[in-house]
Structures are given as C-alpha cells and as structure tokens.
Homo-oligomer: A and B are copies of this chain.
Amino acid sequence: MYRKHTCGELRAAHIGQETTLAGWVQTVRKFGAITFVDLRDRYGITQLVFGERMGERLDAEPLGREFVLQIHGSVIERSNKNPNLPTGDIEVTVSDYTILNRSAVPPFTIQDDTDGGDDLRMRYRYLDLRRSAVRRNLELRYAVNRSARNYLHENHFMDIETPFLIKSTPEGARDFVVPSRMNPGQFYALPQSPQTFKQLLMVSGYDRYYQIVKCFRDEDLRADRQPEFTQIDCEMSFVEQDDILRMFEGLVKRIFLDVKGIDYAEPVARMTWEEAMWRYGNDKPDIRFEMMLCNLKKPDTVFTDRTDHRGLIADAGFNVFDNAETVLAIAVPGASEYTRKQTDEITDWVKRPQIGMQGMVTIKCNADGTFKSSVDKFYPEERLKAIAHACRAVAGDLILILAGAEERTRKAISELRLEMGQRLGLRRKDEFKLLWVLDFPLFEYSEDDNRWVARHHPFTSPKPDHIPVMIGNDPSIPDPSAYLSHPYAQIKANAYDMVLNGNEIGGGSIRIFQRELQEKMFAALGMSEEESIHKFGFLLGAFEYGAPPHGGIAFGFDRLCSILGGSESIRDFIAFPKNNSGRDVMLDAPSSIDEKQLEELQIGLK
C-alpha cells in the first residue's frame, strides 16, 4: 500500500505516530516559509505541514491543485483545531514526500459550489465525480443498494440474474435491439424489465426473487429520463396484494432507517386510484400537505359513484362554469390577503401552455368572515359561503377555482395544488410521506386504435371479482364514443404503486397465472393468437405446467435515491449518466462504427 492511514482516519489518539498518507492536493496555503496542504481522499481531508526544510523543493516545483501526493510524516496536535473536520484535532508534519502524479489545472473547481457548467461537468465527469456533493450521492446510492439487499436476503429473496440479450416484444415503449452476427438478419433486444423472466422463476418455484438490475427503454428522452436505468426488481409466489404491500413497505422503511436514520413507524397510507384522482387530481399525490380538491362539478361519465357540488354553482348565469365539463377548487390556507398582483400572477401561471387553462376564479375567505370573489356579480355572499364550506375553507383561506374539460382541468388543478404547496413551503425535503395507491383501472382506452391498452402491463391480473367480467365479455368496442360504458372500462387491476412525496417510486401487481386469462388479456390488447404465441409463447407454455399465484413490484432505483438525497435530478445519482439526447459526452457515444463491423453484422445504414 502507498499509505498507512487514509486521509479521514487520523485522530488525537494518533499523535506522536509516524504515518504515510496518499491523496489529492485540495488546497495549498503558504505562510512565509511554511506551507499548509489539505490532502484529500474518499475518506476525508488531512492537513499537512511542509516546514522550512521543504521550502526550496516546493519553490522549484510548486504543488498544484489535484496533484497526487504520497507523504511520510508525524502526527502532531494542531494548535488551531478545526471542529468541523473529523481530523481537525491533528495535522501531519511532512518529513518526505513523492509526487505520484501531476495534474493540469482542472477546467472547473472541485468543490461543492463548483464554477463548472453542466456541459463541462458532463464532459469531465471523472472530475465532477471528485466533488464531495457527487460522492455523497453515490455513497447514498450504495447505502440504499446495501440496505435493500440485506432486507431482501433476510426475507428469503434470492438474487437471480436474468439475461440481457433477449427477444424483442415491444409493448408500449421501444426496445433497444442488438444485431446478431451469428444469426444474420436477426436481433436480440435489451430488456425493458425482467418481467417475464421473474414470472418464469416463480413458475420454476424460486418463491422469492430479487435483482438490482439495469433496464433499457428507447424512448424520446424527457428531462431526467435515461435510456438505461436501474430497478430493484422483486417477485413472490403464493401471495395476495396485502402480503406484497406489507413486505415492500417494510423494505422502504428499512431503507429509511439504514440510510437516513429515520424510523418510519407510522403505517403507510393507502388510497384507491379513484380517491387519489378525486381528491388530488393525480395518481401519485403528494400527501405531505392537504389542500384537497373540491369537486364542484364533474361529467356524469366519470366517478359515477361520487357526488359533486354542482348545485352550488349552477343557475347563476356564469357561463364559464355552466359550459365547463368540470369545475374544481382548492382552498389555499392563509392566502386570503394575497394582493391583486399576486392572484394575477397565479392566473398567469395556470394560463401557461404547460397548464393550459383559460383563466382562474378566486374567492377570498376573509378573516372577518366575509367573502370576496372575482365572480361576485354572479354569486352573492351566501352562495360563496356555501362553496367555501364545500371546499372546507376557513377564514383566511384563498379558494382557487379552475373550469374546463375534465381531463385537462383535473390535471391543471393538481399542478396548481403542488405549486401552491411549494410556494407555501408545505413540501419539505426532509419530510417523507409514503402512500400506496391501489385499484388502478386495468385498461386505458386508445383513441388512435379504438382498443384497450394495458395501464400497467399485459401480465397484471384483474381484481378477482372482475375476472368473470373480463372472461365473459367481448373486448371489442363497437361505439368508440361510448367506450366508458364498456364493461372493460370498469375492470380494476390487482395493481399498486408506491408513492413517496408525490413521486411514483415503485409499482407492481398480482400477475395473471392462468393461461386462459392471459390469452384473453392478449386478445383484449388487440393481439392475434399467432402474435401472442410468437411473442409470449414461452410464458403461455409455462402457465400449462403448474404456475403458482404470484405478484411483485419494481422500484425505480435512480429516482428513489434522488428523493432520499433531496434532489430533483436522477442524473446526480448516476456515476456516468447520459445527457438529454441520450449521449455520453465524455465517451462521445454513440458513435459511428467500422465498415467491417457493419459487414460482419450484415446490416447497412440508410
């Protein structure tokens, strides 16, 4: 070893000992004949003192930032102790040193608040990775990895590797494909997830499987999407939904404890998908704060079991509400004193193209019990009071109301709720609230193809009660305009998402394990029998030989780490991420390949 101790190891107890250290020059400070150097490695920083005797050598060849040094010296007590540094009680007087490697001046400073822009730091990722902010992220990632593995191991899960060179069966997202040289004209695909393999492992009796595994999706990249990403992928046999929920809230609680020191003792909240959409306008509600939706008006075709407050706004001659499919409100706590300028600014915010509303109605619930609204002339105070009551607003609140088409308006009020929560500081980074969202619809309707698509994936089971509905009905949709009244529109999935602070961190389902039901599912998704055999014959085959009831879940590992680390960006938690065009700018990949390689693969460029 080039060292006897690391740069984070020496304490007062080492005073008087000889040591050898190796690391990087963080800073060089000269005070007359004495030079102080902070030497850095992964474990910490140690202050070195180069005495007068070294002056000549240092003058002849000054030490620069990021030089790699090996030093020999003695540990002494610091006169000027630094309580912020674990090694702050000591320093090392250098008796001899070797420059192991020199460094050019880095293109940006290796500090938490670096002067390097995004592009520069991506290009010199190996230098960006030196910054302690980034190192802490990767350390957190490893801690989550370790914690998850320990919990799953203790619960009898086995890590079983599934293949990366598989068959292309694009459903939803595009596959990355890999031309096969040994089978010209044929291609492997990289897995979008190990879904079918983990189900086969259940058929094979492995009972509990997990893997922390790379997955690949060739999608048009949005901000903070990566073409390769990591899942904590799990599957269990002989379970019902509740078994899965308990097992995996246990996993996340264990990660909180191991990684953040948080004892998440309270039960994890559970909410149906319908309740989430009704109360939050969103299937991954942030429940760190209330500010729930008041459904003043909704179309008859949705939330058929629920009652809105349409009477409160009807017959007032206010065309905007009368003509709107949907009218939704939130009560913003303590915001009744917002100025006209402030409410105008919020109105502008909801009119942005990303939100797409035409306008916004406000009702101020004044502290003195009076009400003031932007639609006073349509609604007398008594009616405003009734609306405020329906919204559960109290004196001091500001009610914001959006109106328009159902889907867009619900999405908009959900965004507005999050925005107001953010502005009021209700979304605290150090507060963590878990939520299970349950009972998703099994199908979504695709207008383009006038057919059903799987909301989760084609292997998700309906609720046991809904299996007869699925088996007993023809999936075809004779009248596209009435798709909502097709029996399939009411089928709920035996599926669940885990939501953390408004982010979906995991999702899964109880799977179909009967061949007949799986065939019906493929048919419902518009697959011919030939196509389903071609793509998934191995799975249908496996279901012939004693498939057990099973279900599972996959967590988005990158996202989970970024939320635990208090960051918006998953990129900060990936050692070598790609940019928004899917490029690795450090490697300069993808890139052109040799003509010889193309020839061997028997493919050509168009």
Interface residues of A (CB under 8 A from B): 1-3, 6, 22-25, 40-43, 66-68, 70, 100-104, 106, 124-127, 129-130, 135, 138-139, 141-142, 145-146, 149, 153, 158-168, 170, 174-190, 197, 200-201, 203-207, 214, 216, 218, 220-221, 227-228, 230, 238-240, 243, 513-514, 537-538, 541-549, 574-576, 578, 581-584, 586-594, 597, 599-606
Within the complex, the shortest CB–CB distance from A98 to chain B, in Å, comes to: 11
Please state if A165 and B578 are interface contacts (CB–CB under 8 Å): yes
Assuming the A-B contacts A135-B205, A165-B578, A205-B135, are A22 and B177 also in contact, with contact meaning beta carbons closer than 8 angstroms in the complex?
no
Please state if B161 and A230 are interface contacts (CB–CB under 8 Å): yes
For A141, A201, A545, A588, which residue has the most chain B Cβ atoms within 10 angstroms?
Answer: A545
Please state if B592 and A186 are interface contacts (CB–CB under 8 Å): yes
Please state if A227 and B165 are interface contacts (CB–CB under 8 Å): yes
Alpha-carbon distance between A124 and B545 when the two chains are bound, in angstroms: 10
Please state if B603 and A605 are interface contacts (CB–CB under 8 Å): yes
* Nearest chain B residue, comparing its CB with the CB of A585: B538
* Nearest chain B residue, comparing its CB with the CB of A203: B126
This chain: how many copies in the complex?
2
List chain B residues, Cβ under 8 A from A167.
584, 587-591
Tell me the interface secondary structure of chain A in the complex: loop
Within the complex, the shortest CB–CB distance from A168 to chain B, in Å, comes to: 5
Please state if B181 and A178 are interface contacts (CB–CB under 8 Å): no
* Nearest chain B residue, comparing its CB with the CB of A106: B545
Alpha-carbon distance between A186 and B590 when the two chains are bound, in angstroms: 6
Please state if B600 and A606 are interface contacts (CB–CB under 8 Å): no
Alpha-carbon distance between A98 and B430 when the two chains are bound, in angstroms: 48
Assuming the A-B contacts A161-B230, A592-B187, are A197 and B576 also in contact, with contact meaning beta carbons closer than 8 angstroms in the complex?
yes
Alpha-carbon distance between A177 and B188 when the two chains are bound, in angstroms: 11
29 contacts between A and B (CB under 8 A): A1-B240, A42-B205, A66-B545, A101-B546, A124-B541, A126-B201, A138-B158, A138-B206, A164-B164, A165-B228, A165-B578, A166-B587, A167-B589, A177-B593, A177-B597, A178-B190, A178-B590, A183-B581, A183-B583, A183-B590, A184-B606, A186-B590, A187-B590, A189-B589, A537-B588, A538-B588, A599-B606, A602-B606, A603-B605
Alpha-carbon distance between A185 and B124 when the two chains are bound, in angstroms: 25
Within the complex, the shortest CB–CB distance from A217 to chain B, in Å, comes to: 11
Please state if B201 and A575 are interface contacts (CB–CB under 8 Å): yes
Within the complex, the shortest CB–CB distance from A1 to chain B, in Å, comes to: 5
Contact of A205 among B24, B149, B197, B588 (CB under 8 A): B24
List chain B residues, Cβ under 8 A from A601.
177
Within the complex, the shortest CB–CB distance from A560 to chain B, in Å, comes to: 14
- 16 more contacts with CB within 8 A, not counting A127-B204, A186-B591, are A67-B546, A104-B544, A106-B545, A126-B538, A163-B576, A164-B164, A166-B587, A167-B591, A170-B597, A174-B181, A177-B601, A178-B190, A181-B218, A182-B220, A183-B582, A604-B604
List chain B residues, Cβ under 8 A from A239.
1-2
* Nearest chain B residue, comparing its CB with the CB of A43: B207
Within the complex, the shortest CB–CB distance from A311 to chain B, in Å, comes to: 48
Within the complex, the shortest CB–CB distance from A235 to chain B, in Å, comes to: 13
Assuming the A-B contacts A142-B158, A177-B601, A203-B126, are A238 and B1 also in contact, with contact meaning beta carbons closer than 8 angstroms in the complex?
yes
Please state if B549 and A238 are interface contacts (CB–CB under 8 Å): no
- Which 5 A-B pairs give the minimum distances between C-beta atoms? A103-B546, A167-B589, A129-B204, A2-B238, A186-B590
Assuming the A-B contacts A170-B597, A178-B178, A204-B126, are A575 and B162 also in contact, with contact meaning beta carbons closer than 8 angstroms in the complex?
yes
Please state if A164 and B22 are interface contacts (CB–CB under 8 Å): no
Alpha-carbon distance between A594 and B581 when the two chains are bound, in angstroms: 24
Please state if A177 and B178 are interface contacts (CB–CB under 8 Å): yes
Please state if B101 and A600 are interface contacts (CB–CB under 8 Å): no
Please state if B170 and A589 are interface contacts (CB–CB under 8 Å): no
Alpha-carbon distance between A356 and B600 when the two chains are bound, in angstroms: 32
List chain B residues, Cβ under 8 A from A221.
182
Alpha-carbon distance between A168 and B214 when the two chains are bound, in angstroms: 19
List chain B residues, Cβ under 8 A from A203.
126
Assuming the A-B contacts A126-B203, A158-B139, A597-B177, are A3 and B238 also in contact, with contact meaning beta carbons closer than 8 angstroms in the complex?
yes
Assuming the A-B contacts A204-B126, A205-B40, are A597 and B168 also in contact, with contact meaning beta carbons closer than 8 angstroms in the complex?
yes
Please state if A600 and B174 are interface contacts (CB–CB under 8 Å): yes
List chain B residues, Cβ under 8 A from A146.
153, 159
